[in-house]
Amino acid sequence: MSAILFGRSVSLLLHLACWSSCQAQLVPAIFSFGDSLADPGNNNYIPSLSKANFPHNGVDFPAGPTGRFTNGRTTVDLLGEFLGFKYYLPPYLAPSTKGSAILNGVNYASGSAGILNSSGYLFIGRNPMDLQLAQFANTSAEIKQILGVEAGEKLLSQALYWVNMGSNDFLDNYFAPFSPIGNLSSEQVNALVLGTYEQQLTRLYSMGARRFGVAAVGPLGCIPFELTYTLAVNGTCDQTVNTQIQSFNVGLEALVNQLSSQLSGAQFTFLDAYTIVDTIIQNPSDYGFTIVDIGCCGIGGEYRGALPCTPLATMCDERTNYVFWDPYHPTDKANIIIADRFYYGNTTFARPINVFELVTMQL
C-alpha cells in the first residue's frame, strides 16, 4: 500500500476509534431513505422475502443479526459515526421508534425497495420510496408535536437527508423476469426512473429537507449475483448492465445539480458509489482486498451469488479479504471505504462537495 493510502487508512482508523468522544453531532438528525444497502431492519416488520435478520448476517455487528444486509455496518451507519452520532438510526417500523427516539433521526430504508413502486416485486413486501416519504411525513408531524412547530422545522431544515435508491429499479425490475417495465428501451427506463425520483426529492424538499446526500447506483454488472447468472468467466463484469447504470448515473448527477439550482435554500451533492466501488474492484490490493468477485456468504456457483446469506450458506473465513458480503451487498470493510469517500472524498467521489462540507456549510 502506498504511503498516502497508508496514512489515509491510519487517519480513518483514528477517526473511528474516537467516534464516541471526539466530537458532538454535526447535524441534529439524519433521515435515511433507501433499499437494502441502508435497511437497518425495517423489513423485519413486513411480510417480505427480502430479510436479513438471521445468521450469518450481522456476524461482526455488536447486536448480531438486526436485518442489516451485511456482516457489520451499513454506509449510513458509518456516516452517522463520522458525524458524531452515538447511536445508529432506528428503523421506522420498530415499535420503539417513537417519542424522543426520533429526534436524532430515523431510517426508512427497506430491502428490495425502489424509486418505482413496482421495483422489487419478486420479493413481495417492501416499502418503496413513495411509502418511505409518507412515513417521513408522519415522523415530521410527530417531531413538531414534541418540539413545537418552530423548533421542529428548524431541526428538519438542519438535518442531513441520505438517499440511496435506484439499484432495485434495474436489478429487481428492469433486468428481472416478467418486469412490468421490461418492454421499455434503456433510455425510456432511465427517463421514467429519473422523472419519478425528481418528484420524490422535490416532495422531500417541500417537507423541510435542505441538505441532501444522493448516492449513485453502483456497478451492478460486477456483483456476484450478476456474475453467477451471466455465467461470467474469470469474474468479468457484465458491461451491458454497467453501461446502463453509468448512463443512469449521468442523468442522476444532472438531476442533483438541477435541483440544487432550482430549489431555494437547498444543497444537493452527488455521491459517486459507482466510481468508488469500481476503483476498489480494479485496484483491490490498494485497499487490502484479495477477492472482488465472490460473495463471502452465499450459495451457488463459483461466485456464491445465486442465493443470499442464510444460516445454511457457506461463509468465508477471512471477511476482510472480501469486497462483497453476499450476492449483492458490500462487507463492513468495503462500506468503511465507501463511507469515507462520501464523507471526506474529493470531487472524484463526491460532487460538488463531500458530506462533511455539506453538513458544515451555511445555507
The Cα–Cα gap between 335 and 330 comes to: 6
Closest CA to 93 of 35, 42, 32: 42
Residue 67 DSSP label: S
96 is annotated as an active-site residue = no
- What number of helices (H) and strands (E) belong to the chain? 11, 8
Three-state secondary-structure class, residue 186: helix
Three-state secondary-structure class, residue 235: coil
326 is annotated as an active-site residue = yes
What letters, b where the CB count within 10 A reaches 16 and e where it falls short, cover 51-88? bbeebbbbbbbeeebbbbbbbbbbbbbbbbbbbebeeb
Contact of 297 with 331, CB cutoff 8 Å? no
Point out the catalytic residue in the list 39, 172, 278, 326: 326
Contact of 349 with 342, CB cutoff 8 Å? yes
The Cα–Cα gap between 77 and 40 comes to: 9
The Cα–Cα gap between 185 and 35 comes to: 24
Cis peptide before 28 (omega within 30 of 0): no
Point out the catalytic residue in the list 272, 329, 332, 340: 329
39 is annotated as an active-site residue = no
Total Cβ atoms within 10 A of residue 264: 8
Point out the catalytic residue in the list 36, 48, 110, 179: 36
Residue with cell 466510481: 275
Instruction: Tell me the catalytic residues.
Output: 36, 326, 329
